[in-house]
Structure 1
Amino acid sequence: MLSLHTNAAALSTQNSLSSTQKSLSTSMTRLGTGYRVNSAMDDAAGLQIATRLDSQTRGMAVAQRNTQNGISMLQTGEGALNEVSNILLRMKDLATEAFSASSTATDKTAMQNEYDALGTELTNIVKNTSFGGTQLFSDGTTIDGSNGKMSAAMSFQIGASAGETMSVDVSTQLTALATSLGAVSSQYNATPAAGTELSATANTLLTTLGTAIDKVGELRASFGAAANRLDHVYNNLQNMSTNTTAAKGRIMDTDFAAESSTMTTKQMLLQSGTAMLKQSNSMSGLVMSLLG
């Protein structure tokens, strides 16, 4: 029907042009930002899922740093204990030599001086070994294994949720080690005194030193086991983070191949629709030809 008041073809073409222009604008925005979802209107459910995945990914990234920092702290403590072990081995060498009849009183005095110096260094290591400004084995004053970072159970946040924690408790081993070190040298206490360990008549000091060396080994083993577990935690977090990031990308990222094709199609439709709108508007002129 030819009508001056209603041009159905023009109205239909205008609606199609509006829809095409909107789709073209969406495609251009996606290609411009690189994101398929730029607002909740684009994919409300997908945005919610992606946000949850992003939260998990960010939490795991921080947890990975936590595990690495935890390993570094444990390795700092283990490194200090390695030196404690070396000192105790040297003290045992001195004690073994001192308790031989071939050693003179003068020899024993020289050995005792070195033994005392080593005992003083044991105190220094226990008092001053720190990580990030915090003493690990003591509070900087006491040397009985109390009041340090490792004197109580340590909790590591190893995941993005509240339940993902790891507890490491070496307080019992640390206290036992401090007690053993106190038995090894009179220099290892709050008020050090000149040592007489190597002038004793019985060689029980060798057994005492052996016990202290065993205690160092026990604590080092605990550190090593905890550090190994944290390393496995890190590897698992890396795996989860990789797959979670990939899942988020499938929701949020633009598929440039598909979106470029869509944009080209919409551009062509916009051009053809504009041409057809021009043609549909000329149809009203046919009415006037009927009146001529």
Structure 2
Amino acid sequence: MSLVINHNMMAMNASRNLNNSYGKLSVATRRLSSGLRVGTAADDAAGLAIRELMRADIASVNQGVRNANDAISMIQTGDGALQVVDEKLIRLKELATQASTGTYTSDQRLIIDSEYQAMCSEITRIASATNFNGIYLLNGNLSSPTHDGTGLNPTGKIKIHFGSGNSSAEDYYFISIGNATASGLGIGMSAGAGKAGRSISTQDLAQKALAALSNAIVSKDKIRANLGATQNRLSNTIQNLQIQAENLQAAESQISDVDVATEMTEFVRQQILTQSAVAMLSQANSLPKMATQLLQG
């Protein structure tokens, strides 16, 4: 290489190497300070796209866990009310047994029947008042076998959505809750004319009410059993979702997070190269002075 004045090629070369090393040092610094290997699309365009899809799925699955927990809370609310209904039904069976014997007069049976009707009304009140977040659980609104979510207020059985997609096989299922009002259980005046559990005002009606009350208890128990089974299913669903979210998070971490040990090695390497380039650039900038020495003769 000739000794020239107009173009300092050594300085240009050192400057290019300095810019290259300094740029890589800047990337290593950004990665170490942020903890992310993929901070921009330039780092890994395909990895960034996969990561963002994974982050969306992780957020959706975590929300699904919250949805399932809300459903469990709803079920526990309904089951708690049914526990009170259970106590009322036991009392009704006791009253019907009492009115079935022949040692009471008609007036006394009417008194017993008044408590019977009051208990039936209380069962209806409990079933009609039990709600979770404004959703009434035991009044028969959720007993329909079909679901329609096209309106502002969905109708029929309630849909519990917990997945990140919209597949009926993977992402949601329905909860149907039977009618636990007195009429739904077939007891009390609201049960309608001719129903065996309508009244215990006579010995014959009281005896017929015993079978109706047994059926009502069974119907109530079926509702509670269905709720209990669904609660257990939701608990298993939550465990699966949590494992799924954990695995997705691990996969996202492999793509997105920086390996600190590897990146720190790269940082030190580029730091040394940058320092060397700065030193050599300084030396290269002083080389044209050798030409002036020749000119001075």
| Fold similarity call, TM over 0.5 | yes
Q: Which moved more, 1:25-34 or 1:103-112?
A: 103-112
- Residue 186 of structure 1 aligns with which residue? 189
Deviation at 1:91, TM superposition (A): 0.6
- State whether structure 2 residue 206 is matched by structure 1 residue 200: no
Quick one: distance in 1 between partners of 2:280 and 2:7?
A: 16
Deviation at 1:19, TM superposition (A): 0.6
Amino acid at match of 1:19: N
- Secondary structure of the equivalent of 1:268? helix
Aligned length, in residue pairs: 276
> In 2 relative to 1, CA 169–260 (structure 1 residues): closer, same or farther, beyond 3 Å?
closer
- CA contact 2:175–2:230 (8 Å) conserved in 1: no
In the TM superposition, what are the counterparts of 1:164-175 in structure 2 within 5 Å?
164-170=170-176, 173-174=178-179
- CA contact 1:94–1:111 (8 Å) conserved in 2: yes
- CA contact 1:36–1:255 (8 Å) conserved in 2: yes
Deviation at 1:225, TM superposition (A): 1.6
Deviation at 1:239, TM superposition (A): 0.3
Quick one: distance in 1 between partners of 2:199 and 2:179?
A: 26
Quick one: distance in 2 between partners of 1:30 and 1:224?
A: 50
Amino acid at match of 2:18: L
- State whether structure 2 residue 221 is matched by structure 1 residue 220: no
Quick one: distance in 2 between partners of 1:169 and 1:44?
A: 43
Percentage of matched positions with identical amino acids: 33
Deviation at 1:8, TM superposition (A): 3.1
- Say which of 238, 243, 261 aligns to 1:239: 243
> In 2 relative to 1, CA 174–113 (structure 1 residues): closer, same or farther, beyond 3 Å?
closer
- Residue 2 of structure 1 aligns with which residue? 2
In the TM superposition, what are the counterparts of 1:71-220 in structure 2 within 5 Å?
71-105=72-106, 107-138=108-139, 145=140, 148-151=141-144, 152-163=156-167, 164-170=170-176, 173-174=178-179, 179=183, 181=185, 183-186=186-189, 196-201=199-204, 203-220=207-224
> In 2 relative to 1, CA 168–290 (structure 1 residues): closer, same or farther, beyond 3 Å?
same
- Secondary structure of the equivalent of 1:204? helix
Q: Which moved more, 1:261-270 or 1:22-31?
A: 261-270
- State whether structure 2 residue 275 is matched by structure 1 residue 274: no
Task: Flag structure 2 segments of 5+ consecutive residues without an equivalent.
Answer: 145-155, 193-197
- State whether structure 2 residue 17 is matched by structure 1 residue 21: no
- Secondary structure of the equivalent of 1:167? strand
- Say which of 278, 281, 288 aligns to 1:284: 288
Amino acid at match of 1:3: L
Quick one: distance in 2 between partners of 1:90 and 1:178?
A: 14
- Secondary structure of the equivalent of 1:168? strand
Superposition RMSD in Å:
2.3
Quick one: distance in 2 between partners of 1:7 and 1:180?
A: 97
Quick one: distance in 2 between partners of 1:158 and 1:48?
A: 24
Quick one: distance in 1 between partners of 2:12 and 2:102?
A: 117
- CA contact 1:74–1:223 (8 Å) conserved in 2: yes
4+ residue runs over 6 A deviation: none
- CA contact 1:120–1:188 (8 Å) conserved in 2: no
Amino acid at match of 1:168: F
Amino acid at match of 1:79: G
- CA contact 1:180–1:211 (8 Å) conserved in 2: no
> In 2 relative to 1, CA 91–178 (structure 1 residues): closer, same or farther, beyond 3 Å?
closer
Quick one: distance in 2 between partners of 1:65 and 1:87?
A: 34
Quick one: distance in 1 between partners of 2:187 and 2:210?
A: 9
Quick one: distance in 1 between partners of 2:281 and 2:175?
A: 78
Deviation at 1:187, TM superposition (A): 5.5
